[in-house]
């Protein structure tokens, strides 16, 4: 496979093996050879098949498989769900097990629905329960302490059923987005609740430990609160639990109550799933889909993912047993938006929705044909007896494939894997393949990448670039305009046919986003990872309609994101410093002397090495300078701003301790350990440095008058797209596939 410079950057940073000194010792061919040799487990024919499959660029497995296959860790799964029962023993056992999974590079999902509500009586201690929200915070803090796979913190999903007595508190518990930063939240929605919403009637809240009705709420009030919070900051999402369990392949084993962190993989407690994605953009030949190539890639990918189960070292024996009993795999797709570009089909069209059904039905059907063949060769999954396959309950609507005949064959011969299809986020693997992520539309056609020394490079979608050049209108100035506006919809001199085909996330109405998700969901065993993007001006009513349409379209869950909703939150309260007055006039900060003396500290932060210098004059601390270990990006600019303002405050006689108190504890996406102490952000590191200064230098400044609270003004928006910056490279990140990700360096929040 031909790799782009961007793909090589991602591979070298996150996938290629390194020696003990951190030097890269792999390239692309060595990496896929390592993976193919390991997964084939000595079978030379399979080794060749797997190598060719990976090198073709038509398929890649989830990141843990690429990273860990053939290494000591050998943990190859990305997603897990852990049990959480209503006892202190179960709660803290799950915290311990989650830490082990995060350490191995996996993400975890939990249902908090079995935990009794706060203040409910606990007979064993004659006390009262803390409730699920309190324990959710404990799980979040535990995740902070474990760095995932040596590279990032663990991602979690928390689900609470809408029937839980504390559901209203759960819905609003991330109103402050600086809290519960290691969790995605979703409300588990039931059919009974949705019926009550449509009927504008009440529904019952049920105590988990007694099964007694403790209260009734108007369903529409609860639904409205979910909509309000989703409009405000994108959380919580919603999961349709009854619909998920309607398609649960092993209902006799248990009820599905939770999903993995991005919501696309519903799992039983102690289950994991091995995921991989086909690159649909690579299946186009002569302006048509090459169905034979897609069929072969599907069959080979099923073989590969089934082999991954046998080769994976799972972090817990209970997970090993459950995974090998059900053998769930999740084959999905990426490159959907690029495929539509190549075929000149608008994403927001009936033709695209119909093609989505046709493509996913084809993949789903042939994945099951191959899984049945594997069952004949190696045996069906252990829990096949009693499954919906054996009882023929999983009947698909016929389009082109003979599902009725296939279900009869399954019932007679069995199937190797309890599920075969999932559409997962493809963040970095789609970057490696230089294609669009999952089934999302392109977020932008042109984006800016920040590189060393403050330079900026334009990255243009290759299919868009080709179309613009063929139209004879390509120019750097035009590309810069596209990057600035985020789309071509309102740019003059671009032909209407190009505008119609090359639509981006915010050009597409929520209706088409959801119709597309529903089309793929129709032929996916598990669920579809997708973000329904709204413009900043979207109303709560529009989000409500989107939720209702998702329910009516057969989706198993939905995640919405209103552009800029999180960035515009006023999360902290500032302080207005009243200056000392003389004769009714304000006194300016004291001037900096020509010579100062001070101390410099080196602190490890999530953005890199930070050097903090605090200088003093004869009146005490008077200025701060900061220097990042790696230059450029938003982090350095923000640090300079903090340092300048802090210096101004110091020379305005504000106490060092007061400044430290305001900066301390501010959180960013990349906390870091420094000398046994957690540094939650670069601002927090400055606070810690100020505290060290106070220990070394007596604070001789006079007390100042009362500090008044003053809300921070909202920043002006520079464009219709809110800007959020990657903590690793300083480039703009996007919100898609249920998560934040950076297209420049491969950083992902999940």
From the list 79, 173, 262, 273, the catalytic residue is 262
Identify whether 682 is part of a domain: yes
pLDDT at 179: 86
| pTM given for the model | 0.79
In a domain, 583, yes or no: yes
Residue finishing a domain among 503, 531, 552: 503
Q: For residue 68, indicate whether it is catalytic.
A: no
Alpha-carbon gap, residue 497 to 356, rounded angstroms:
21
- What pLDDT score was predicted for residue 177? 79
Structural domain contains residue 495: yes
Structure tokens of 699? 């604070």
CB 123 within 8 A of CB 149: no
Query: Do 479 and 583 belong to one domain?
Result: no
Is there a cis peptide before residue 76, judged by omega within 30 degrees of 0?
no
Contact 107, 258 (CB under 8 A): no
Location of structure tokens 């900096």: 592
Q: Indicate the helix (H) or strand (E) that contains 364.
A: helix 350-378
- C-alpha angle 236-239-241 in degrees, rounded to nearest 5: 145
> Is residue 598 located within the same domain as residue 497?
no
Contacts of 601 (CB under 8 A, 6+ apart): 611, 612, 613, 689, 692
CA torsion sign for 376, 381, 387, 388 is: negative
483, 594: one domain: no
Adjacent-strand bridge partners of 217 = 203
| Nearest in space to 622 (alpha carbons), one of 594, 661, 649 | 649
Provide the sign of the torsion angle of the four alpha carbons 654, 658, 660, 666, taken in this order: negative
CA distance 610 to 685: 8
- For residue 554, the tally of other CB atoms under 10 A from its CB is 13
Report helix, strand or coil for 597. strand
Residue 301 lies in a domain: no
Could you write out the DSSP letters of every residue in 671-731? -EEETTEEE-SHHHHHHHHHHHHHHHS---PPP--PPEEEEPPPPPPSSSSPP-B-TTT--
Q: Strand, coil or helix: what is 97?
A: helix
Give kind and range of the element (H or E) at residue 531: strand 531-534
Q: Please say if 260 is a catalytic residue.
A: yes
Q: Return the structure tokens found at 735.
A: 């919100």
Q: Are residues 479 and 597 in the same domain?
A: no
Would you say residue 546 lies in a domain? no
What is the count of structural domains for the chain?
2
Q: What whole-number distance in Å separates Cα of residue 347 and Cα of residue 337?
A: 7
- What per-residue confidence (pLDDT) applies to 567? 54
Candidate list 163, 235, 257, 264, residue with the active-site label: 264
pLDDT of residue 629: 62
Catalytic residue among 58, 156, 248, 260: 260
CA proximity to 34, closest of 75, 73, 70, 74: 70
Question: 664 and 580 in one domain?
Answer: yes
Query: What distance in Å separates the CA atoms of residue 725 and residue 745, rounded to the nearest whole number?
Result: 12
Please give the pLDDT value at position 273: 87
Catalytic: 71? no
Comparing CA positions, the residue from 439, 260, 224 lying closest to residue 337 is 439
CA 557 vs. chain centroid, Å, equals: 15
Specify the DSSP class assigned to residue 187. Answer: E
In a domain, 536, yes or no: no
Q: Are the C-beta atoms of 410 and 249 separated by less than 8 Å? A: no
Domain-located, residue 77: no
Please say whether the beta carbons of 171 and 187 come within 8 A. Answer: yes
Domain assignment present for 454: yes
Give me 499's structure tokens. 């505008």
Q: How far apart are CA 121 and CA 101, in angstroms?
A: 32
Q: Quick one: pLDDT at residue 720?
A: 38
Residue at a domain's end among 480, 503, 526: 503
479 plus 588 within the same structural domain: no
Say yes or no: 608 and 693 in one domain: yes
Q: Please, are residues 177 and 282 in contact by the beta-carbon 8 Å criterion?
A: no
Residue 722: predicted pLDDT? 43
pLDDT of residue 574: 28
Neighbours of 675 (CB within 10 A): 8
DSSP string covering 476-502, please?
HHHHHHHHHHSSSTT-TTS-HHHHHHS
Spans of the chain, pLDDT less than 70: 124-126, 147-153, 449-456, 566-588, 629-634, 669, 676, 697-725, 727-728, 730, 750
Q: 100 - beta bridge partners? A: none
| Token pair belonging to 399 | 């389009």
N-to-C CA span, the chain: 27
Closest CA to 262 of 745, 747, 640, 739: 739
Based on the domain organization, do 490 and 596 belong to the same domain? no
Q: Which structural domain range is residue 629 located in?
A: 575-705
Helix, strand or coil for residue 563? coil
């Amino acid at each position: 496979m031909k790799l782009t410079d961007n793909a090589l950057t991602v591979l070298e940073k996150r996938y290629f093996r390194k020696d003990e000194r951190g030097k890269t010792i792999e390239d692309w061919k060595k990496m896929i050879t390592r993976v193919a040799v390991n997964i084939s487990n000595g079978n030379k024919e399979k080794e060749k098949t797997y190598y060719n499959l990976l090198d073709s660029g038509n398929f890649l497995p989830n990141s843990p498989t690429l990273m860990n296959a053939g290494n000591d860790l050998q943990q190859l799964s990305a997603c897990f769900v852990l049990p959480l029962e209503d006892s202190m023993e179960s709660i803290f056992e799950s915290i311990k097990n989650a830490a082990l999974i995060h350490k191995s590079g996996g993400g975890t999902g939990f249902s908090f629905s079995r935990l009794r509500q706060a203040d409910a009586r606990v007979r064993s201690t004659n006390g009262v329960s803390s409730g699920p929200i309190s324990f959710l915070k404990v799980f979040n803090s535990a995740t902070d302490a474990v760095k995932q796979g040596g590279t990032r913190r663990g991602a979690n999903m928390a689900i609470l059923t809408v029937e839980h007595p504390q559901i209203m508190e759960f819905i609003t518990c991330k109103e402050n987005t600086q809290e519960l930063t290691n969790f995605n939240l979703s409300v588990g929605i039931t059919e009974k609740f949705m019926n009550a919403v449509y009927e504008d009637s009440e529904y019952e809240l049920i105590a988990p430990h007694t099964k007694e009705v403790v209260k009734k709420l108007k369903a529409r009030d609860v639904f409205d609160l979910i909509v309000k919070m989703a409009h405000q900051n994108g959380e919580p999402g919603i999961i349709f639990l009854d619909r998920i369990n309607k398609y649960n392949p092993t209902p006799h084993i248990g009820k599905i109550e939770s999903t993995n962190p991005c919501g696309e993989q519903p799992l039983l407690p102690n289950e994991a799933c091995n995921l991989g994605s086909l690159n649909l953009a690579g299946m186009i030949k002569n302006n048509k889909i090459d169905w034979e190539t897609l069929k072969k890639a599907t069959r080979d990918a099923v073989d590969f993912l089934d082999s991954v189960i046998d080769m994976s070292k799972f972090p817990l024996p209970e997970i090993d047993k459950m995974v090998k009993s059900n053998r769930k795999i999740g084959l999905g797709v990426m490159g959907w938006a690029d495929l539509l570009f190549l075929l000149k089909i608008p994403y927001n069209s009936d033709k695209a929705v119909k093609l989505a059904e046709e493509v996913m039905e084809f993949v789903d059907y042939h994945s099951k044909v191959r899984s049945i063949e594997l069952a004949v060769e190696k045996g069906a999954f252990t829990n096949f007896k009693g499954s919906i396959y054996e009882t023929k309950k999983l009947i698909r609507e016929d389009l082109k494939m003979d599902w009725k005949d296939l279900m009869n064959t399954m019932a007679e011969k069995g199937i190797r894997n309890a599920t075969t299809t999932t559409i997962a986020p493809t963040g970095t693997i789609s970057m490696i393949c230089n294609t669009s992520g999952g089934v999302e539309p392109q977020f932008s056609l042109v984006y800016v990448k920040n590189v060393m020394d403050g330079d900026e490079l334009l990255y243009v979608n290759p299919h868009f670039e080709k179309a613009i050049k063929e139209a004879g209108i390509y120019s750097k100035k035009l590309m810069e305009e596209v990057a600035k506006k985020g789309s071509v919809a309102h740019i003059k001199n671009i032909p209407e046919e190009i505008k119609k085909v090359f639509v981006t996330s915010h050009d597409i109405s929520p209706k088409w986003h959801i119709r597309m998700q529903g089309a793929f969901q129709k032929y996916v065993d598990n669920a579809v990872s997708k973000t329904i993007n709204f413009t900043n001006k979207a109303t709560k009513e529009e989000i409500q309609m989107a939720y209702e349409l998702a329910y009516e379209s057969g989706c198993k869950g939905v995640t919405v994101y209103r552009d800029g909703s999180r960035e515009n939150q006023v999360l902290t309260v500032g302080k207005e410093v009243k200056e000392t007055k003389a004769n009714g006039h304000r006194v300016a900060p004291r001037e900096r002397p020509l010579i100062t003396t001070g101390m410099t500290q080196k602190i490890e932060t999530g953005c890199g090495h930070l050097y903090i210098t605090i200088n003093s004059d004869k009146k005490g601390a008077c200025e701060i300078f900061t220097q990042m270990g790696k230059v450029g990006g938003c982090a350095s600019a923000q640090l300079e701003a903090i340092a300048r303002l802090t210096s101004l405050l110091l020379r305005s006689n504000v106490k060092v301790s007061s400044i430290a108190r305001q900066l301390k504890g501010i959180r960013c996406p990349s906390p870091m350990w420094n000398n046994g102490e957690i540094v939650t952000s670069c601002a927090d590191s400055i606070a810690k440095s100020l505290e060290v200064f106070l220990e070394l230098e007596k604070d001789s400044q006079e007390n100042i008058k009362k500090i008044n609270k003053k809300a921070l003004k909202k920043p002006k928006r520079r464009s219709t797209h809110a800007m959020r910056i990657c903590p690793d490279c300083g480039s703009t990140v996007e919100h898609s596939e249920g998560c934040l990700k950076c297209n420049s360096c491969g950083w992902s929040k999940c």
